[in-house]
Structure 1
Amino acid sequence: MTMPLTSVTKDAATLTVTVVGDYPVPQQRLWDAFADPRQLERFWGPPDWPATFTHHELKVGGRAEYFLSGQNGENWSGSWEFIAVKPISSFEARDGEHNAEDETMPSSMTFTFDTTPTGSRVTIATRFSSVEAMELTIPGMEAGLRAAMPELDAVLAERGASTAHM
């Protein structure tokens, strides 16, 4: 099995963490996995903290609201405010939390979807308000992404992915 998460790059100068994943499916299929809340909640968050999207309006000015559920009944909620949407190629969201004073949270995320010779690629660039926020968030975020992104493989494989199983 190949690891779809091809890189995690941290850049303190631009306060960004960029995650790249390559998948053997068409660009439209990869976009659909992020645009459909029922698919997105199956891989947005590590397997032991599954996500539930209670609202997902992927348009400029729209919002996505979700929570992650821990194994001991605890919940962590998050939301995005969509500030740019270009269907099948990209969307950008600001952290939509009401508690915007939480400097440890990412300030915004840009998701870009591209066609590649072997399928498609998603690039997720997360911006932070400070180096301190990056340093506090990155270890948990990176571990969570490395646990969650293989779940995207399973979602893509079962919903009409065009590649044969090996």
Structure 2
Amino acid sequence: MTVVSAVKDSQALTMTFVAEFDAGIERVWQLWEDPRQLERWWGPPTWPATFERYEFVAGGGARYYMTGPEGQKSRGWWTIIAIEAPHRLEFDDGFADDNGEPLASMDPMRSVVTLEAIDSGTRMTLVAKFTNDEQFEQVLSMGAEEGMRLALGQIDELLADVPR
């Protein structure tokens, strides 16, 4: 089923994705807590992610890069703010330099993921909150909406696989 809605709200400075999956909450939660599974869907198919560091605890961090079709790398980082397994994850998500360190010139986005049981499985809502209009427009102009749609579109196939 995957993405059922994607809403950009320039007033609230948010981008919200709602996706539904034919799997239980615990299984969908594994896609966030296991970096090897996260690598299989975080980033569009032509820009797969590699997590070099992943500390899935409140206060923990992640460093990753996505590799483009020509071998170029786009780096990012997370700082995990809160974990309420298996229903809620909150983290700051930002761009990084070539060494994987946060870019001081760009504020992070605050992302909140919630999972809830529905009759057909699990509904996942991902809300990215931006700090200002400029950041909101910049990230959208980079193709973030389409990229996240494509990334989330990979999850059904992953859920069909036996967990690793």
Q: TM-score, normalised by structure 2?
A: 0.89
Amino acid at match of 1:36: D
Aligned runs of 1:11-22 on 2, under 5 Å?
11-22=9-20
Confirm or deny that 1:101 pairs with 2:105: yes
Deviation at 1:127, TM superposition (A): 0.8
Aligned runs of 1:15-164 on 2, under 5 Å?
15-95=13-93, 97=96, 98-103=102-107, 106-139=108-141, 140-159=143-162
Q: Deviations over 1:85-140 (max 9, x none)?
A: 1110111101355213225xx52111111111110011110011112221221250
Q: Deviations over 1:54-74 (max 9, x none)?
A: 111111110111100012121
With 131-140 and 42-51 compared, the bigger mean Cα shift is at 131-140
Q: Give the whole-Å Cα distance in 2 for the aligned partners of 1:64 and 1:122.
A: 21
Matched residue SS, 1:5: strand
Q: TM-score, normalised by structure 1?
A: 0.88
Amino acid at match of 2:68: G
* Structure 2 CA distance for partners of 1:112 and 1:100, relative to 1, 3 Å: farther
User: Unpaired runs of 5+ in structure 1?
Assistant: 161-166
Amino acid at match of 1:33: L
Identity of aligned residues (%): 36
Q: Give the whole-Å Cα distance in 1 for the aligned partners of 2:91 and 2:149.
A: 21
Runs of 4+ in structure 1 deviating by more than 3 angstroms, as ranges, are none
User: Unpaired runs of 5+ in structure 2?
Assistant: 97-101
Residue 99 of structure 2 is matched in structure 1 by none
What is the number of residues matched between the two proteins? 156
Matched residue SS, 2:5: strand
Q: Give the whole-Å Cα distance in 2 for the aligned partners of 1:100 and 1:128.
A: 15
Matched residue SS, 2:134: helix
